[in-house]
């Protein structure tokens, strides 16, 4: 099967099924008698611009960046992808959620968080390697810490699995 045909099939699978991992995508392709490597799937995902977005159940799933998704889903997908690349730690202190990044990436992460328009976040402040999110109270700070840790932990787990 040629690359264009395989990528077209991947788009169909992503649109038809809930796919959460590369392994699930690989299994669906094998059901279609398409034998490819994990590395090929990774390249296809980048080329097709498949991102991870949060679905109705609060879980991550693959989706096409340019599909009929809402702007918010696209922004969440950017946030998830960026988290995987730059975050080193997430915590909260009173009414603040603090996100530590690799050096010189905090302002980019803060901008993506701002674009996502999370209703709990009243303000973001970025330094060299730290983003501080101001939220209404400690309960919201803990909620945001859990939300961001869920993103970060899922990405970390999948990186380890790959």
75 and 116 housed in the same domain: yes
- Burial of residue 119 (CB within 10 Å: 0-12, 13-18, 19+) is exposed
Q: Is residue 119 part of a domain?
A: yes
* Assigned domain for 60 exists: no
Report the distance separating Cα 28 and Cα 69, nearest Å.
Answer: 22
Residues 30 and 80 in one domain: no
* 29 burial level (CB within 10 Å; 0-12, 13-18, 19+): buried
Q: What pLDDT, in 10s, does the model give residues 114-127?
A: 888 888 899 999 99
CB 118, CB 144: distance < 8 Å = yes
Per-residue pLDDT tens digits for 27-82: 999 999 999 998 899 889 888 878 777 777 777 788 887 654 555 666 677 778 78
Residue 18 lies in a domain: yes
* Same domain? 151 vs 86: yes
Number of structural domains found in the chain: 2
Token duo for residue 141 = 């700070």
The range of the structural domain enclosing residue 89 comes to: 71-161
pLDDT at 66: 61
127 and 109 Cβ atoms separated by less than 8 Å: no
Q: Are residues 96 and 154 in the same domain?
A: yes
Digit-coded pLDDT (tens) for 83-109: 878 899 999 999 999 999 999 989 989
């Amino acid at each position: 099967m040629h690359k264009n045909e395989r990528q077209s099939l991947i788009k169909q699978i992503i649109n038809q099924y809930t796919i959460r991992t590369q392994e699930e995508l690989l299994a669906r392709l094998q059901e279609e008698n398409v034998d490819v490597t994990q590395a090929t799937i990774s390249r296809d995902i980048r080329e097709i611009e498949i991102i991870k977005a949060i679905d109705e159940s609060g879980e991550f799933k693959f989706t096409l960046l340019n599909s009929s998704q809402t702007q918010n889903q696209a922004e969440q997908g950017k946030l998830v992808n960026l988290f995987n690349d730059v975050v080193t730690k997430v915590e909260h202190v009173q009414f603040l959620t603090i996100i530590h990044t690799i050096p010189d990436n905090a302002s980019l992460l803060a901008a993506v968080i701002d674009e996502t328009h999370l209703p709990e976040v009243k303000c973001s402040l970025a330094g060299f390697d730290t983003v501080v999110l101001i939220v209404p109270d400690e309960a919201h700070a803990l909620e945001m810490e859990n939300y961001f840790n869920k993103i970060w932990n899922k990405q970390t787990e999948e990186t380890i699995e790959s």
